[in-house]
Chain A
Amino acid sequence: MSVVAPDRAVAPVAPAASQPFRPSLAGWLARGLAWAALACLVLILPLGRPGTDLRLYAIAACYAIVALSLNVLLGYVGQISLGHAAFVGIGAFTSAYLVTVQGQSFWVGVLAATAIGAGQALVLGGVSLRIRGLYFALITLSYGLVAEQNIFQIQEFTGGGAGQSAPKPAWFESEWRYYYLCLAFLALVLFVDWRMMRTKGGRALLALRENPRVASTFGINVRLATLFAFGVSGAFAGMAGALIAHGDESVSADVWNFRLSLFFVTMTVVGGLRSRVGLVIGGSFFALLPYLIEKIPGFEDLLARVPGPVDLTPEYATLIIGPLLLLINLIRFPGGIGQQTRPLQRWMTGHRFDPHDRGLKEVQITDVRA
């Protein structure tokens, strides 16, 4: 009985598989229009905005890089960093210090920030792998506090209370050029991430997340693969830090704290693990959340009417909305924005629009007990 049943279930699907779906001419046109609208939204519309807004958009692109960086840990190996603010912050100060104090060029600064980011993550990761479990979370949490209270207190490195200035690179001084530069870096990170997951090392990472023991019986060096992921994640984080520093043109020590680390985790998980589209949307959405709240007409007044001891300003609203979304997301929609927008993504890439296609294969939950 049980042998026959699967055959019956498969039978009606088979002819459809032999004839792949091709959109009609109107379908292609609609998809082309959608792509054009997207390109317009990302590439052309921002040019009409004032410089202060463009600066925010550039930072949003950098936050998308941070989300991709955390995704390497959280989505690919099932480890987590709770000190990502420190990695990003040290990247920011490294680049600012090299450019302002040492007189190096912007490109040297970004490269150094990337290398130092990878180095820190490798050292901390190496120590945490001495013991099975999620000890990377603990070590990075503690390291984040060290960065906040010790490293960022070094006057020469961070420029003290006034912060370290970080000029924009030559030819990229104007806000819109720098915005395109950030988009280019985001594209680079997306490309590296995509190619990485197509290599032997990337597949090893996925196998390892499913079950480390089974992976090691297939000859995967678990420690080496995990360390590799730590290094890649740290490198992305350092690069994003350098870009944020030069985007803001100055870095101050008091923003890189524990809450920012948790904020990074929030945007990564809400964006959707292992979904590049979702991560980019999540990162930029959270970076722009206070700005969006101000832009939606009437929303601010609505917030102000919420009863409370003090007014619910957009700043406090962002602080509360973030973790609320995170918890709802984890409990109800584990795939995040990436999973919810998946039918649209499939349609845009020339497939049939199927509202039930949630790509559930990719969020299978297997218990990797710590």
Chain B
Amino acid sequence: MSDVLQRRGLLIGVGSAILLVAVLWITDQEQSIVIGVVTGSAYGLVALGLVLIYKSSGVFNFAQGEFGSVAVCTLYLLHTSGVPYGVAVVGALVAGALFGFLTERIVIRPLFDAPRVIVLVATAGVALLAIAFQQWLFDNQGRPISRAFPTLDRVTVLRVQISDQRLWLIGTLVVLAVVLGLFFTRTNLGLAIIGASQEPTATELVGISVRRLSTFTWVLAALLGALAAVIAVPDTGSFTPGIMTSGYLIPAFTAAVLGGMTSLPGAFLGGVLIGIVQSVATNAEIFQDIPGTPSTLIVFLVLLAVLVVRPQGLLGRSA
């Protein structure tokens, strides 16, 4: 029964994505399809991290965005001090993962038995602290950040112009999706994480340390957040302190809820969907009368609609 429901959810998700892309295509806004898919993939990566932590610690991780912001700041600091871009990217990913490790060790582990709402407040505290340090470090100013491929050569695929930077990003994402899929279905470590998230007691009984896995899960989630930031932020050309929390965290949460909050493929699919929905909302003329930023309101309405109509999300098992 739940398989049928899940398949229906998958159909709804993919179907609406195709429909929205078709709308953009017909209205001659092919460019925004690419933007939607690229930002959507970043939302998807952040959402993957959120779902991983939700499954292992049972908590919404409000520091997930800041894992990425720390990575972006490291990338900026390393690159401006003369380190080659590729090395700076690796340094940024390491910094993000390290931040995730420290968060788990210093803040999350002492609260292992605390109510979930207290752990949630703690993650929000970590985010607030990270943002405060960035504000101090950059004097609360935005900074320009250079792209990996500054030349902006364009390739035309089916009327759509894609810069080489974005082509690389999409390629990286495809490889990453395959690697993650294999990791969670074929390796012992991946299976152990899935097991611990579904049945922690039974996992302990077969001799796997759930606590050690918790550390690993947080590092992995932080790495995904850092990757999302390194992919998406330089593409926009600049960053501000706490950028991943202000710009990416809420769409990513909406994506995770849309995907079902416990489903990894669902989270990524949700992310891409939200990215495309934002593209439509930014460009469609019927939304131009909304004051301020129309896409914010649309994302909020999507979140409400999912919770009212289909609380289990597209690929979630049960509410």
Bound form: Cα–Cα A34–B9 in Å: 65
Taking a contact as CB atoms under 8 Å apart, the answer to whether B113 and A326 are in contact is: no
Q: C-beta contact mask, B150-188 vs A, less than 8 Å → 1, else 0?
A: 000000000000000000000000000000000000000
Compute how far the CA of A66 lies from the CA of B62 in the bound complex, rounded to whole angstroms: 22
Interface residue B111 (Cβ < 8 Å from any Cβ of A): yes
Contact partner of B121 among A151, A312, A326, A370, CB < 8 A?
A326
Is A132 a contact of B139 with CB atoms below 8 Å? Answer: no
Give the residue name and chain of the B residue nearest to A143 (CB).
B300
Say yes or no: A262 contacts B127, CB within 8 Å.
yes
B291 in contact with A258 (CB, 8 Å): no
Cβ of A131 under 8 Å from chain B: yes
Binds B, one of A90-98, A133-141, A182-190, A199-207: A133-141
Whether, in the assembled complex, A269 has its beta carbon less than 8 Å from a beta carbon of chain B, the answer is: yes
Query: Which stretch (A73-81, A277-285, A287-295) binds chain B?
Result: A73-81
Tell me if A4 is interfacial: C-beta within 8 Å of chain B: no
Which A residues, 161 to 184, have Cβ-Cβ distances below 8 Å to chain B?
none
- Chain A residue with minimal CB distance to B295? A149
Residue of B nearest to A146 (CB): B300
Is the Cβ of A145 less than 8 Å from the Cβ of B59?
no
Given A127-B308, A139-B304, do A149 and B121 touch, yes or no (CB 8 Å)?
no
Instruction: Please determine whether B59 and A370 come into contact, CB atoms closer than 8 angstroms.
Output: yes
Q: Which residue of B has the minimal Cβ distance to A132?
A: B319
When C-beta atoms are compared, the residue in chain A nearest to B247 turns out to be: A145
Query: A4 to nearest B CB, angstroms?
Result: 31
The answer on a CB contact under 8 Å between A138 and B303 is yes
| Total of A-B residue pairs, C-beta within 8 Å | 162
- B136 and A320 contacting across the interface, CB-CB below 8 Å: yes
The contact of B129 among A82, A327, A365, A368, by CB within 8 Å, is: A327
Complex: A60 Cα to B242 Cα, angstroms: 27
Q: Which residues of B contact A266 (CB under 8 A)?
A: 125, 128
| A50 in contact (CB, < 8 A) | no
CA distance A184 to B93 in the complex (A): 53
Question: Given the interface contacts A259-B128, A269-B121, does A319 sit within 8 Å of B59 by beta carbon?
Answer: no
Contact A146 B296 (CB under 8 A): yes
Which B residues are in CB contact (< 8 Å) with A323?
125-126, 128-129, 132
Chain A residues numbered 33-89 whose CB sits less than 8 Å from any CB in chain B = 74, 78-80, 82
Is B115 engaged at the interface, CB distance under 8 Å to the other chain?
A: yes
| Contact yes or no, B307 A139, CB < 8 A | yes
Q: Interface digits, A254-285 against B, CB 8 Å rule (1 contact, 0 not)?
A: 00001100110110010000000000000000
Complexed CA–CA distance, A312 and B135 (Å): 11
B296 near A259 (CB under 8 angstroms)? no
Say yes or no: B116 contacts A142, CB within 8 Å. no
Report B-chain residues with C-beta under 8 Å of the C-beta of A331: 106-107, 110-111, 122
- Residues of the A chain whose Cβ atoms lie less than 8 Å from the Cβ of B299: 142
Distance in Å: Cβ of A127 to nearest Cβ of chain B: 5
Q: Among the listed B114, B118, B261, B297, which residue makes an inter-chain contact with A150, where contact means beta carbons less than 8 Å apart?
A: B297
Residues 305-342 of A contacting B (Cβ, < 8 Å): 308-310, 312, 316, 319-320, 322-324, 326-327, 330-331, 334
The answer on a CB contact under 8 Å between A137 and B60 is yes
Residue of B nearest to A261 (CB): B124
Report the minimum CB–CB distance from A233 to chain B (whole Å).
14
A7 within 8 A of partner (CB): no
How many angstroms between the C-alpha atoms of A269 and B125 in the bound complex? 10
Please indicate the chain A residues that have their CB under 8 angstroms from the CB of B294 in the complex. Answer: 150
Residues of chain B with a CB closer than 8 A to A370's CB: 58-60, 116-117, 120
Q: Which of B200-250 contact A (CB under 8 A)?
A: 245-246, 249-250
Contact status A320-B132, CB under 8 Å: yes
Chain A residues, Cβ within 8 Å of B300: 142-143, 145-146
Give Cα distance in the complex from A326 to B129, angstroms. 10
Q: Would B136 and A312 count as touching, CB distance under 8 A?
A: yes
Contacts of B308 in A (CB 8 A): 127, 130
Known contacts A142-B250, A149-B293; decide if A128 and B307 are in contact (CB<8 Å). yes
Asked whether B257 is an interface residue with its Cβ less than 8 Å from the other chain, the reply is: yes
Q: List 25 A-B contacts (CB under 8 A).
A: A78-B117, A79-B117, A127-B307, A130-B307, A130-B308, A130-B319, A134-B116, A138-B257, A139-B307, A141-B249, A150-B293, A153-B291, A153-B292, A262-B125, A266-B125, A312-B136, A319-B128, A319-B131, A320-B129, A322-B128, A323-B125, A323-B126, A326-B122, A334-B114, A367-B116
Chain A interface (Cβ < 8 Å from any Cβ of B): 74, 78-80, 82, 127-128, 130-135, 137-139, 141-143, 145-146, 149-155, 258-259, 262-263, 265-266, 269, 308-310, 312, 316, 319-320, 322-324, 326-327, 330-331, 334, 365-370
